[in-house]
A and B are shown apart, each in its own frame.
Chain A
Amino acid sequence: MRTTTTARISYSLLNAIVIVCLLFPFFWMISASFKPQLEILNPDYLFKFTPTVQNYVSIFQDHDYMKYIVSSFIVAVLSTLGSLLLGLPAAYSIAKYKMDSISLVILVAKILPGISYLVPWYVIFNKLHLIDSYVGLIMSHMVIGLPFIMWIMIPFFGAFPREIEESSWIDGSSKIRTFAQMVLPVSLPGIITSSLLAFIFSWNNFMFSFVLAGEKTKTLPIAVYNFMGGTSINWGALMAAACVITLPVIVIAMLAQKYVVSGLSAGAVKG
């Protein structure tokens, strides 16, 4: 009896340690975002401080963060939609007609480092005046979203029973119509998983936007990174900005936790 009690206590303790480790940096980010700069700079105020929303006011008033949020949102939504538009039919075709060599191409595109495209894109986009344009930025983010969506959806479509499709074709429905009206609705869980993650990857993307975005299209991660420049760092505002980028991602992850966990465990990691 005694051993089980000890075991249970140490088990709960371990649980608590793991959870504290996981959450602490988030707690720290949020608490610093509500601290006045002077108290951040003074270690005596590590845990007790006078909360203020001044940091948040400052990033929206002094630094046009609304604009960056809109940019990030436009790029993330449109690149996800674009990836779905191209990726869903392609994944279906690859799954149904067993085009294994093409699925290998997708895998290679997933493995290659993002920076390998960035040099040529930068040169080519410069010539085509696509630097600091939404078109260029969205296309670059689709290079992460598209292979990812196909990667998740190929096994999903592969599992769809052939007989159901065939009976629909016999009933005179065209193949495109069968795909749109029968296959897609049933595949909704996979589509939701892959779209949510594609959205998150785009929202979080730093490297592509850093090089390809400019004043007009600057996304949130770049705005926050640029915020660090200068002689002294305004930590409170920096952490407020970090909270603003991370919040939507956390909300999505919480709401769709079942989908996101399965998507991430399916080998789903950024480009």
Chain B
Amino acid sequence: MSVEAMIVEAMLVAASQVIAVVVLLVVAAYTVRHLFFAQHRLFSSPRMDYTDLAGFHLPSVSVLIPMHNEAAVAEDILEALAEADYPHDPDRLEVILVDDHSTDGTGAILDEYAGRYPWIKVIHRRGGRRGKAAALSYGTREARGEILVMFDADYVPGKSLLKFLVAPFADPEIGAVMGRVVPHNVGTSLLSRLLDLERAGGYQIGQQARYSLGLIAQYGGTAGGVRRSALEAAGGWDPHALTEDTDLTLRLAIRGWKIAYVNRAECYEEVPETWESRRLQIERWAVGHTDCLHRHLGALLRSPYLTRREKWDGAFLLGVYLTAPLIALGWAATAILFFQGSSYLPVWTPFFLASTCCNALGNFASFFEIGSSVLLDGTGRRVRLLPLNVANSLFSTATVTVALGKYYASRVGGRRLGWSKTERHRNGNGNGNGNGNGNGPANGNGGSYANGRGLNHIKARAAAQGSGGE
């Protein structure tokens, strides 16, 4: 071997060792965070300081629902809102439906409902910038409510969601409130079952623990509300944001507004049923979230309104998607060290033990989070699918790594990535991959839903799952 080759090999090995150790440290930090959250949530009383006000603090609310080609699901959410136990007095509740360049008959459905209920308003957008944030901006201008509550069209709010969700706004420091999202289409595919576990861990443990610990709970963009004055103080919706929810969370927190999480305010969601739609969803989240990291991390760390703990945890929250490429890098480094012969060295054994099995300890912490949520929810049987989430983790790691690769390439090239709408499957009417730039085909290909879907079916499923009865 030539001297140059030996130098290159030595440098490669040294770099791999550094990368491997850095990855392990980062994963270890997230491990500690997740383990702490899970233990805290399991054994400490959750913070539920506004629950008693539910039904007593009833501010004027504007519900905003952006809709782009949502004919398959539009009726369900409107029927659910009609059944909500919030006063349907037009001065107290208005529902603003923003028909955002729909081409599948969504507009006609919305008009029909507006004719039926005086508290429903419809805005048909046929020009201007497309996408959720732009539609929300438009709807916000029309809204008269003190509190804005946002839903994606495929969500079905529980009967008492609104009153639980707006109760924390009695506290003038609260800028936004987030409710718990529960999948209603569990059982339609293996993926939806796995995502049900993931959501349970994320909300029942992650969100509630962050809120209980006085850290930054995340406003999630749907099944959440924001105080109009807080939104205006934070600069309104950013039409360029791919994840307007994370963007708003950060802008509110940086300016000193508090964000509350209400585990009791449950909203039922249609999670992706196909791996392709899941891939698109993760890509959008990863890119949007990481974009927020670049835009807000500095301001977050400098904010005079946040404690050191909140800043640290906020940084962890923003950097969460970067762990995927880091883990991939860790695998590459581990492979290089294996072929170089380092596995044989006792000093590296603990490292290999921790990192080569896809960062087992770090991953186990997130599995522990899911297991803990199942214990709290009393939904034992479904947790048997937990081992399959290892495969789900691999899938997510690969998807996020590729998505962030594209994102950084686009940043270098000065381009902006587009927004892709999540596929809907309800009512036997998979409405295709409308890409958010309009013209999403309504292919009506039957999706994976059988007959008998719809609001009643969703409610029956939600009740059967034991997720917070009304």
**A and B co-occur in one complex:** no
Binding site for B on A (CB under 8 A): none
Binding site for A on B (CB under 8 A): none
